[in-house]
Amino acid sequence: FDKFDPEDPMRVETLLTEEEVAIQDTARAFAQEQLAPKVKQMYRDESWDPTILPALGECGLLGPTIDGYGCAGVNNVSYGLIARELERVDSGYRSMMSVQSSLSMGAINQFGSDKQKERWLPGMAKGEIVGCFGLTEPNHGSDPSHMETTAEDTGDGEIVLNGSKTWISSSPYADIAIIWARSKWDNKVRGFLVEKGTPGFSCPPIKNKLMLRASVTGSIFLDNVRVKRDESLLPHARPGLGSPFECLNSARFGITWGAVGALEACVKEARQYALDRKQFNKPLAAFQLVQKKLADGATEASLALLASLQLGRAKDKGEWSPEMVSLVKRNNCGKALWNARILAEIFGGNASSDEYAIGRHVANLHVVNTYEGTYDIHGLILGKGLTGEQAFY
Ligand code: TGC
Ligand code: FAD
């Protein structure tokens, strides 16, 4: 038998194709060489680095599953591998990539007109145009079906948008926002593109977050924002919530891989710390209780990775369901958060220092377990799939 590899306990790499390994290696090199050196300062400053999205674009890591428009056109497993490598450094970097790729480019690619796609996608693939996705509102997070933002057709080719969105990743720096609003003409949710600088449209940052500080988050205010109907309305989004949820299926899938990357980073750092730090004249790694924490973290990361890979293969074959995404999003994020928190104990007081990544990952994973549908909301989606009974209302 082969030697055990603490960094790939279940030898998942043997299940990947050569092309997938090459994409993983590109993403890993990019994340470790270009993002890891920046993360501590960006987390401290809650800053936006305008070079990151263009650098991701340069490596072909934005909108990677889209065919054409300068995108790589790779499979879902490759997209997952990219998410895992970025989140190994920080959930905020995976968030930037997910919002750009799955939520913003994904919405335009799936639901936009040819003209909208040609106008926006090439620049977004290069990371020169920043996108954001506005679904959540101050009064409606888990229940977007009750959203209050409205779209009114003026009858002369214009739409007027009114309302507000909150907790929107990248919004303060976005050049283009996907706004989901209830149309006044048929009371159905529809998607609209709103460009930065449009009168009445503003995206102030939400400052002083305690978590996910390397990703900038903001509000969106729409005060009688007038847009041209043919430029703004996403014509192929079917009226209702199905279309924004389709974008979420893809972003949630990426998050399942990202959470694994964050937990793997915690296991790796905790293992090294336990080997280096001595108490009672022995390395911490030689104590049974410490080994249990490492064993639990490594086990859950490995099983979560296998679940994401199975989901990715199913997506690539077109044999998947949203319930499968919920099962894995809920499991992987919940397990990553729980185990990262336990692994942090190995660091004693040092877990509270940003010289170590563990405290940052624990804080970030709280958000990762919350956005794109909370742990409990995914439990309810799964509960509905299992029983046929919906328990949301
Ligand atoms: P429900 O009545 O079940 O469905 C409404 C319509 O949507 C369809 N649908 C889906 N379609 C595709 N994929 C899915 N996963 C779908 N789920 C539902 C459904 O068939 C129906 O279609 P139609 O044609 O009949 O109208 O909807 P509901 O209002 O009862 O919703 C229930 C619930 C709780 C599951 C849903 O609202 C939900 O998922 N809530 C969570 C909200 C959420 O995830 N928000 C995420 C905001 S974006 C974000 O967090 C980005 S963070 C990114 C980052 O920084 O990484
Ligand atoms: P609530 O919906 O108020 O939920 C609060 C609690 O109640 C949760 O524990 C929830 O599980 C529970 N709960 C709610 N309903 C039920 C029920 N029926 N049964 C049992 N329990 C229930 N949104 C975007 O649109 N775009 C973005 O780019 C984006 N980025 C984000 C970035 C960050 C940093 C954060 C923190 C959030 C972001 N979000 C974004 C918003 C995110 O999707 C929401 O925070 C999330 O969907 C939860 O909504 P909420 O915060 O309003 O919580």
CA 66 to ligand 2 centroid distance, Å: 28
CA angle 169, 174, 180 (to 5 degrees): 65
Query: Using a 6 Å cutoff on CB, does residue 376 contact ligand 2?
Result: yes
For this complex, say whether ipTM is above 0.90.
yes
State whether the Cα torsion 137-141-144-145 is positive or negative: negative
Closest CA relative to residue 192, chosen from 246, 151, 220, 245: 151
Query: Using a 6 Å cutoff on CB, does residue 135 contact ligand 2?
Result: yes
pLDDT digits (tens, 9 = 90+) for 319-333: 999 999 999 999 999
pLDDT digits (tens, 9 = 90+) for 86-108: 999 999 999 999 999 999 999 99
CA 57 to ligand 2 centroid distance, Å: 29
Closest CA relative to residue 77, chosen from 12, 124, 127: 12
Q: Provide the annotated active-site residues.
A: 372
CA 391 to chain centre: 26
CB 244 within 8 A of CB 135: yes
Residue 1, pLDDT score = 79
What is the percentage of the chain residues whose pLDDT exceeds 90? 99
CA 191 to ligand 1 centroid distance, Å: 14
Q: Strand 217-228 relative to strand 158-169: parallel, antiparallel, unpaired?
A: antiparallel
Phi, then psi, of 132 in degrees rounded to 5:
-145, 170
pTM above 0.95, yes or no: yes
Query: Using a 6 Å cutoff on CB, does residue 179 contact ligand 1?
Result: no
Mutating to test ligand 1, I would choose from 241, 252, 327, 381 the residue with most ligand atoms within 8 A of its C-beta, which is 241
Mutating to test ligand 2, I would choose from 367, 371, 378, 393 the residue with most ligand atoms within 8 A of its C-beta, which is 371
Query: Using a 6 Å cutoff on CB, does residue 381 contact ligand 1?
Result: yes
- Report the distance separating Cα 121 and Cα 25, nearest Å: 25
Query: Using a 6 Å cutoff on CB, does residue 180 contact ligand 2?
Result: no
With a CB cutoff of 8 Å and minimum separation 6, the contacts of 247 are 102, 103, 106, 107, 110, 133, 178
Q: Does residue 2 have a pLDDT over 90?
A: no
